Structure 1
Amino acid sequence: MREALAEFLGTALLLTFGLGVVAQTVTSGGAAGSPLGIHLCWGLAVILGVYASAGVSGAHLNPAVTLALAVRRGFPWSKVGPYVVAQLLGAFVGAAVVYLTYREAITAFDGGMRQVLGPHGTAGIFATYPAPYLSILGGVIDQIVGTALLVAMVFAISDERNAPPAASLAPVFVGLTVMAIGMGFGANAGYAINPARDFGPRLFTALAGWGGGVFTAGNGWWWVPVVAPCIGAVLGGTVYDLLIRAHHPAHTNRIGDPARRVE
């Protein structure tokens, strides 16, 4: 229970900060925000969420990360369900907090008529939707690639035999990874790379006035940021392990160490 509570809080903080910057940007018409600000704030949101929960639960904050750790790192399968439920609930609550805070701003922006897409669409504050040009297959590829990059770097940052940062700085580098993914791969579909981050807020919007359109928009896009990140997470973790972890020498060189011959 204590681990699930930590995952709940960490994910709620992640979504509150992350969705908050999107709400501010959208409802101000870009006057109080920018794409760069969104990327920076999401990276900071990850850092803060991880710092809030890492000492208790390990701060997965992402069902895809939890799945990859179960598949590749021996994380107990019995804990996967409680972690995922806690992450989903945390994401839902984070969305609710942002909605409560920005409800009047959203109403001023859309005139009180909750719209999913379009010039006055506001559902994208909470969940991700594909760009008009993006196909479902393209979205699946996008989410697989983004999440594979995330998990490969999470594995690298936490690999004690591969010159990792100090444990106290690990959350910073995870946040920087998310920031880099957003800057490099955010245009197609908003880089959800986290089933809880997308599904929890999407469910909230369905209940809070946007209706079932949040599940039918984008040719039924909703399942892509749920399923594809799970595939990408396992793929990214597997690639890292095959190319790096499986080949660690008996002596691990640290950054700046002279090369040594392994007897």
Structure 2
Amino acid sequence: MASSPSVTVEFSPKHSLPTKQPVAEEAKAHCLKWLPSDSASPSHFQKIVAELIGTFILIFAGCGSILVNKIQSLTIVGIGLVWGLVLIAMIYTVGHISGAHFNPAVTLAFAATRKLPWKQVPMYMLAQVLGATLASLTLRILFHEQDNIQPTVTQYKDTTSDLEAVAWEFIVTFILMFTISGVATDHRASKDVAGVVIGVTVLFNVVISGPITGASMNPARSIGPAVVSGVYKNLWVYIVAPIIGALAAAMVYSILRVPKPVAEKPEETKSTINQLYPHADP
């Protein structure tokens, strides 16, 4: 009986099974690249410097436009544009460092709603007042041809009562802080346009209430010119009303806020990915 033919199958090295799975490796690398990288947050000192310089530039440009208006008419719309545009510029310049408050009332409102540690509040406010004062002093030196910088001091007309002035400053500051709370602190909002929205809010607040009360909305903005010019009349209005307005707006917006979804920590996410793709190297 003839023997059956035998068949020998040889495996070439080039056809051997791979020790790693390319698909798993690619999938793991794709997942890991979207994890946030470890980066150091700004130090407290950096935040204070950012607030000081940002407030200086804000007051220098905003109050500077008021003095320029005495030389070349800008109208209230032009002055409002300067305030709004310089605020937009500063928000995008140092907002990622300090939050771009430039305003003690905003800082207090953030602290009251747990968006800022209370221990950072005193230095924030000191930097803001110091920046506003230095800006006012600089303007006084540069505009020496004018007798003083009293036009930059926030005052309201004699026909406006103290209560009306408080109401005006409360309302415009409430509008400003309510806007900030919505576009800058709510995780559902688009942060890319936050600076523009806040700047536009300051613009229309200045246009509406500027001719009546000066549209301070900011204790530092009023304290700086008052210290340099030596005019402290009705200064309490521009300290008390903006603070109350900002606190009220932050509290009211907290009613509209929803809890932020709890996200996994990067380390936990990496551990999960490693469990899914144990043999893949990114």
Same fold per superposition (TM over 0.5): yes
Q: Counterpart of 1:51?
A: 92
Change (3 A) 1:13 1:200: same
Structure 1 residues 1-12: aligned runs within 5 Å: 1-12=45-56
Query: Taking structure 1 as reference, are residues 38 and 142 closer, same or farther at Cα in structure 2, changes over 3 Å only?
Result: same
- Map 1:73-88 to 2 at 5 A: 73-88=114-129
User: For residues 96 and 186 of structure 2, what CA distance do their matches in structure 1 show?
Assistant: 17
Find the counterpart in structure 2 of residue 179 from structure 1: 203
Conservation of the 8 A alpha-carbon contact between 2:48 and 2:123: yes
1:215 aligned partner, one-letter code: Y
Tell me by how many angstroms 1:222 deviates.
1.0
Which of the residues 41, 65, 83 maps onto 1:21? Answer: 65
Q: Deviations over 1:68-99 (max 9, x none)?
A: 00001341000000000000000011112222
Deviations 1:202-237 (A, max 9, x none): 10111xxxxxxx123xxxx11110111000000011
1:237 has 2:237 as partner: no
CA distance in 2, matches of 1:203, 1:52: 27
Aligned AA for 1:15?
A: I
Match of 1:202 in 2: 226
Distance in 1, matches of 2:61 and 2:115, equals: 31
Q: 1:5 and 1:13 mapped to 2: Cα distance? A: 12
Q: Which runs of 5+ in 1 are unaligned?
A: 108-113, 115-121, 207-213, 251-263
- Going from structure 1 to structure 2, the CA distance change for 1:249 and 1:54 (only over 3 Å counts) comes to closer
Whole-angstrom CA distance in 2 between matches of 1:160 and 1:65: 15
Structure-2 separation of matches of 1:73 and 1:58: 14
Structure 2: gaps of 5 or more residues: 1-44, 262-282
Which residue of structure 2 aligns with residue 188 of structure 1?
Answer: 212
CA-CA distance at 1:180 after TM superposition: 1.6
Which TM-score applies when normalising by structure 2? 0.73
The letter for the 1-side match of 2:174 is A
Report the TM-score, using the length of structure 1 for normalisation.
0.78
Match of 2:240 in 1: 227
Aligned residue pairs, count: 217
Does residue 1:165 correspond to 2:209, yes or no? no
Q: Please give the residue correspondences for 1:111-190 in structure 2 after superposition, counting only pairs within 5 Å.
A: 114=148, 122-124=149-151, 126-162=152-188, 164-167=189-192, 169-190=193-214
Partner SS state of residue 165, structure 2: helix
Equivalent pair of 1:9/1:52 in contact (CA under 8 Å): no
Q: Does 1:33 align with 2:60?
A: no
Moved over 6 A (4+): none
CA distance in 2 between partners of 1:158 and 1:87 (Å): 19
SS at match of 1:227: helix
Counterpart-to-counterpart distance in 2, 1:36 and 1:161: 33
The structure that has the greater radius of gyration is 2
1:215 and 2:222 equivalent? no
Give the percent of matched residue pairs that are identical in Structure 1 and Structure 2: 32
How far 1:249 moved relative to its partner? 10
SS of match in other structure, 2:177: helix
Task: Tell me how far apart the structure 2 counterparts of residues 52 and 13 of structure 1 sit (CA, whole Å).
Answer: 11
What's the CA shift for 1:51? 2.6
- Superposition RMSD on alpha carbons, in Å? 1.8
Q: Secondary structure at the match of 1:231?
A: helix
Matched AA of 2:195: P
The AA in structure 1 aligned to 2:202 is V
CA drift at 1:32: 3.3
C-alpha distance after superposition, 1:124-154 (max 9, x if no partner): 2x22000221111111111111111100000
Give the distance between the partners of 2:246 and 2:191, measured in 1 at CA: 24
Q: Give the secondary structure class of the aligned counterpart of 1:140.
A: helix
> Conserved in 2, the CA contact under 8 Å of 1:14 and 1:48?
no
Give SS of 1:103's match. Answer: coil
What letter matches 1:71 in structure 2?
A
Q: Partner of 2:132 in structure 1? A: 91
